[in-house]
Amino acid sequence: MQQHNASRRGLLFGAAAVSAGAFLTGCTSNESDDKPAANDQPVADDKPGKQVTIGFAGPQADHGWLNAINDNARKRAKKYSDVTLDITEGSNDTAQQIGQIETLINKKVDVLVVLPADGKALTQVGLKAMRAGIPVVNLDRVFNSPQAYRCWIGGDNYGMGLNAGHYIGEKLKDKAGARVIELAGLDNLELTKQRTQGFDDALKNYPNIKKVARQAADFTVESGQAKMAQLLQAQSAFDAVWNHDDDQGVGALRAIEQAGRDGFLMVGGAGALSAFQAIKRDDGVLKATVLYPPTMAASAIDLARALGQGKGVGGLAEFEIPTSLTCYSAVVDKDNVDQYMSTGFE
């Protein structure tokens, strides 16, 4: 999964826009604007331009979100007649991924998009690409050095927790002695700590709410079911649960159904299609999810294309694309789920 302290980095852009006229599909507003920016610089748009070969390297797609990252990159590249996408098989083995990226460097691709399995371990190969004159778009899991990439784009882990906490807080603000529990991800990942910290910080605004339990799972259906079953056994009554990840949430909901429990609300995380569908049906405990949008991969392709063509971002006055873009963790509930349904991943 992705890893970055996005709350301290970058510009905040909306996360799930899919307008074809917008430049940063996953991280812009829903409005497109064909007018030139204030200084009339060339900006990226849908019109064919200079041919650009983009090398794409990510980890193994062993999780719904990571599979959606690859799908978003492929689909976005196909939209442009001036883009050729050279995508690797993906690997969680650091040495293998480094080798895949070095192959792309040797092919002299115009731009690289890299979601590293381990940002720290792959920093040197990012530096190698940049020194070879190949700009790097660092996707989500950040390299250790800003010299290893031209632009970073990714999600806001702290913001996920913050927005989940505020949503739950507003739902329970009038309930005395409200109790909440948390089904986290992997505790050895920094992103999990950031999501928990954001959640805890949000709850500080609601003195009537107490977090009474927390279990860490590992982003799989099986672990979500097992850890949620433990929480249900230990807690005879609570009012809300925040689950960090919609994939493990499938298992969590299974455990809840098997236990015959209700009387509380659940908030998920990431933006899986199954979560959106459950929210729309509104016949169970899952009432919302906070986004960690895989559409950021489509936006990374947009950024890479702009870099390869020497263009800027439509709607901004600068000639160059920004150094950092942080996708907003929007809350999706029954009121706005239709807007986001097309972005849900399986």
Q: Is the pLDDT of residue 13 over 80?
A: no
Q: Evaluate whether 291 touches 344 at the Cβ level (below 8 Å).
A: no
**Residue 338: enclosing H or E segment and its boundaries?**
helix 337-340
CA distance 198 to 204: 10
Sort residue 263 into left (φ over 0), alpha (ψ -120 to 50) or beta: left
Burial of 124 (0-12, 13-18, 19+ CB in 10 A): middle
Structure tokens at 182: 């948390």
Candidates 11, 337, 308; CA nearest to 154 is: 11
Candidates 248, 224, 27, 247; CA nearest to 140 is: 27
Q: What is the pLDDT of residue 157?
A: 96
What residue type is assigned to position 254 of the chain? R
Say what the pTM is. 0.84
CA distance 302 to 186: 31
Q: What is the pLDDT of residue 12?
A: 33
Candidates 65, 87, 58; CA nearest to 269 is: 65
Q: What is the pLDDT of residue 42?
A: 74
pLDDT over 70 for what percent of the chain? 88
CA distance 252 to 179: 18
Question: Could you tell me the pLDDT band of residue 61, with boundaries at 50, 70 and 90?
Answer: confident
Question: Could you tell me the pLDDT band of residue 45, with boundaries at 50, 70 and 90?
Answer: confident
Mean pLDDT across the stretch 64-80? 94
Condensed to tens digits (0 to 9), the pLDDT of residues 80-116 reads 999 999 999 999 999 999 999 999 999 999 999 999 9
Candidates 33, 103, 83, 92; CA nearest to 300 is: 83
**Residue 12: enclosing H or E segment and its boundaries?**
strand 11-13
Q: What is the pLDDT of residue 131?
A: 98
Mean pLDDT across the stretch 220-227? 96
- DSSP for 212-272? EEEEE--SSHHHHHHHHHHHHHH-S--SEEEES-HHHHHHHHHHHHHHT--SSEEEEEE-B
Q: Evaluate whether 309 touches 303 at the Cβ level (below 8 Å).
A: no
Q: Evaluate whether 269 touches 292 at the Cβ level (below 8 Å).
A: yes
Candidates 291, 265, 307, 282; CA nearest to 345 is: 291
Q: What is the pLDDT of residue 341?
A: 96
Mean pLDDT across the stretch 185-192? 90
Q: What is the pLDDT of residue 11?
A: 34
Domains of the chain: residue spans and CATH? 6-155+294-327 (3.40.50.2300), 157-291 (3.40.50.2300)
Spatial neighbors of 166 by CB under 8 A, at least 6 apart, are 202, 205
Structure tokens at 96: 């293998």
Q: Evaluate whether 109 touches 54 at the Cβ level (below 8 Å).
A: yes
